[in-house]
Amino acid sequence: MNSEKIIELIKQHQHLEGALLPILHAIQEHFGYIPPESLALLAQYLQQTEAEIYGVISFYDHFRLTPSGTHLLEICRGEACQAMGAWQLEQAAKDYLHIDYQQTSKDNSITLAPVYCLGNCACAPSVKVADKVYGRMTNEKLQQLIDKLSSYAITLSTHDKHSR
């Protein structure tokens, strides 16, 4: 049950100064997004209004209020990657997928998210999918990666249907 887990995560971090952010990170790490029921629970336990909680969530690009697609594609917006053309890369990804950050492609295969340094600055610009970091990324290589991820998601969902 989501609520029980959310309360557990709140209680684990509630003692910290500025507890809201560590709690939000813990919730998103556990669920992959911030489930809607989190807002009322956070408001209750941290004695803030839901509007205040929502304000913090929507301020940070990192937090998502809806589940991600099959793959989470993170594009680094850190300084080293920006210097090596990350801006063009993120624009190409948005154009190619017809989505903005924190949105999911129509076929539910890819959610696009910004990230601020993947620890791969020497090979900037970098992107990440699941645990794999890809360096020296170009628009062309990114399109190939997106195509691969999309077709893999289609294979997965077809397999799901067949195995029912």
Using CB under 6 A, list all residues that contact ligand FES: 76, 78-81, 117-118, 120-121, 124, 126
**Between 27 and 113, whose beta carbon lies closer to ligand FES?**
113
> Minimum CB separation from ligand FES for residue 93, in Å?
15
Query: Which residues, 6 or more positions from 130, have their beta carbon under 8 angstroms from its beta carbon?
Result: 71, 72
The residue nearest ligand FES at its CB is 78
What is the arrangement of strands in the sheet containing 132-134, beginning at the earlier edge strand? 110-115, 71-76, 127-129, 132-134
**Between 81 and 93, whose beta carbon lies closer to ligand FES?**
81
> Minimum CB separation from ligand FES for residue 136, in Å?
11
> Minimum CB separation from ligand FES for residue 81, in Å?
3
CB atoms within 10 A of CB 17: 5
Cα–Cα nearest to 3, from 32, 27, 29:
27
| Tokens of residue 92, six digits | 């190409």
**Between 26 and 133, whose beta carbon lies closer to ligand FES?**
133
Provide φ and ψ at 155, rounded to 5°: -60, -45
**Between 23 and 137, whose beta carbon lies closer to ligand FES?**
137
